[in-house]
């Protein structure tokens, strides 16, 4: 009955590989997000989708491509991984009226070697 679930929890991969992180929410929320948390714990928005439509795309390399097959899922695909992509990636969701805060997944720790 996890509200926002991400898989995998840990991901170790070599430079140059392509990988995906999956996110699913069962809260019926309209909006989903990807945040990146760097080694200093700073959280930065990457993407936001509302009802499968991209509404926010921050300054993120185009090697990162989000995909939302339906409003309950928001996946993150990363091409040609680089060392600097190592971080914890958090998925989150919120109702359309963003007055209620976001519900976060438990994060995916990506390590590029």
Partner 1 sequence: AQSVTQPDIHITVSEGASLELRCNYSYGATPYLFWYVQSPGQGLQLLLKYFSGDTLVQGIKGFEAEFKRSQSSFNLRKPSVHWSDAAEYFCAVHSGNTPLVFGKGTRLSVIA
Site of interaction with partner 1 (CB under 8 A): 4, 33, 40-45, 48, 55-56, 90, 92, 98-107
Burial call 41-70: b when 16+ CB within 10 Å, e when fewer:
eeeeebbbbbeeeeeeeeeeeeebebebee
CB of 48 to partner 1, least distance (A): 5
Which of 3, 15 has the CB closer to partner 1?
3
Which of 46, 80 has the CB closer to partner 1?
46
Burial call 81-96: b when 16+ CB within 10 Å, e when fewer:
beeebbbbbbbbbbee
CB of 14 to partner 1, least distance (A): 24
CB of 69 to partner 1, least distance (A): 21
Note the residue count of the chain.
113
Which of 41, 113 has the CB closer to partner 1?
41
């Amino acid at each position: 009955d996890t509200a926002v679930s991400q898989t995998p929890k840990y991901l170790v991969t070599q430079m140059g590989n392509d990988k995906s992180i999956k996110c699913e929410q069962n809260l019926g929320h309209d909006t989903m997000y990807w945040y990146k948390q760097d080694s200093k714990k700073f959280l930065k928005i990457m993407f936001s989708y509302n009802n499968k439509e991209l509404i926010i795309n921050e300054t993120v390399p185009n090697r990162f491509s989000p995909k939302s097959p339906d409003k309950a899922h928001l996946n993150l695909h990363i091409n040609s991984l680089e060392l600097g992509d190592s971080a914890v990636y958090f998925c989150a969701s919120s109702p359309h009226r963003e007055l209620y805060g976001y519900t976060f997944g438990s994060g995916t720790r990506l390590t590029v070697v």
